[in-house]
Structure 1
């Protein structure tokens, strides 16, 4: 496989949200940001020297908050991306994550001129009290203003993230958030249930029994409401947590779900190239130092066996509503789904969690909320190769 997708990590944030375990840092030091951008350039230069890119189909800039960069920093960043990944498909999807309130018109215009054509806003909720409780620093008014500015700047491909299962959140509160989200008339939504991760404030509160989360039944009701309302508003569920109008699906995320190769650049970034996965140094000082000394600031690198690749293919592919194609699987791995996973597929069909027409294996409606249980059954089921 050629590597046609690029992920780049910008780890800076205005503050650390209470649920966030991403590799992110709060800073007011512009010199540190510039040092990081120079290190990014060194990693890009060495990456394309060792692993020359073909025609790039998707670029995704995540964080952190990439739009934390000021206008000059953003200009420089987009210039180096263009310098090292100049060969781009005519229909390139270039996504940048953003937080409401961090995208004024000047910055949006710089982003447009730099090739960005898709923005994913981290909205999470339209309930201002809930936003405060989870450590967000924006309010619903800033969401409306940020979306309006993005549209005025010429962005059509816009997405927002929403979280459900927040502390003390009710089904009706989530319904109200969905109603306000649909009023924005956007082509794409991502929505996830809250996960209490280690090394977060929420985990500390959870351990002390001070995090009043909704019950499992309430969380399931929120997810069912999500699926029903998205369908009612003409948005197709194409992945467990993602919904879009036809043709507006996130093509970069499809790279992950199809288990395809992608460059992973930046502090803490993961990449998958030429049958090997790698992990970059996460701490900024270590990342900057390694990028300066070696170009590739990797702290872990390992080959993915054929067996692991097949397992990854199933776990990621079944996240999509289309499911896993038997013919594509056979073409890629030289074996059939029945030969490798026949017994577990039979068991999952009997449990009513997957359905199979001989070509496409996909989750059933009952299996969608139990996806993690389905995925776990594909691990370690074939002999190591």
Structure 2
């Protein structure tokens, strides 16, 4: 079946530049190079120029920063999403948004195929393609890394030189990275040995905790229904708020993570992450929930977090089960309103105060001083009833 036009998720790097030319040659049809601005530091004029010079019919650069924070980061953080107890899902959350915009462009431009630069070993191929299929199953999906014979960096470089595609002359980074408004990730190369400590000069968003200020930074974050809306009393839009938290966290050495995770495709992978703003945001949000959520609601919601996070990691953002869980998570957030005060100090993010008009905490009940609202003698019957099954088992053993 012939292809009339392809939309490629394009970064301007060596891989997607080669893919752009390869697609045009292999399929003999126009290729649109599409780049998503989700907060990475990039020279977009250079990306556009390179895409056109490499043979793209058109280069489309979409500013998705606001949507990324508002509709992907904030919903996930309302649910306290975290994968395998550590990873805050920075790349996982970005992929469905990039794919969604790619599908929109394909429809608008009359394209019948979409393509990406993800390899056949990683998670991103799954995230992109599950999103494509969920949003428009009629589109043909082209995954060059799974079908071509350019299976080494040397072959990519040779192809690029043969087709006059500029190849960076600087020394190749000993790892690959992915950056957006939530995080930056590093993997591959020297990091493939999990015993190797990352070089300090690798990190981009955070100072090392050892070099962070000797004086702590105090901040306050306001939440409305689980969504952050202000820092130190100043209301900020989603992008401005995340940017400020990233700056505050980075300056105090907060948000570094080094872990070995389980990829959806079945292998283990070592990744190093910097998530300064997200680390602060999650600590603050969880702390506010301690005074605003009912105990049993909190327990049930927390039991769903691993499944919710796994769905994001595995690429099922647009699935019906994800929609169900998101509604559940958001429904639990209606009372999560208030302010959390945090101390940022040398890699640590420490909640030190919290207040809310919806607080379920009562000093009159919790005090160790004399009170008139709690009869401590009532605890005797409470304990004996809860111990009944234990007492019965003990009697059986003693017979």
Name the TM-score class by shorter chain.
Answer: under 0.3
Give TM-score scaled by structure 1 length.
Answer: 0.25
The normalised TM-score by structure 2 is 0.25
The higher radius of gyration belongs to 2
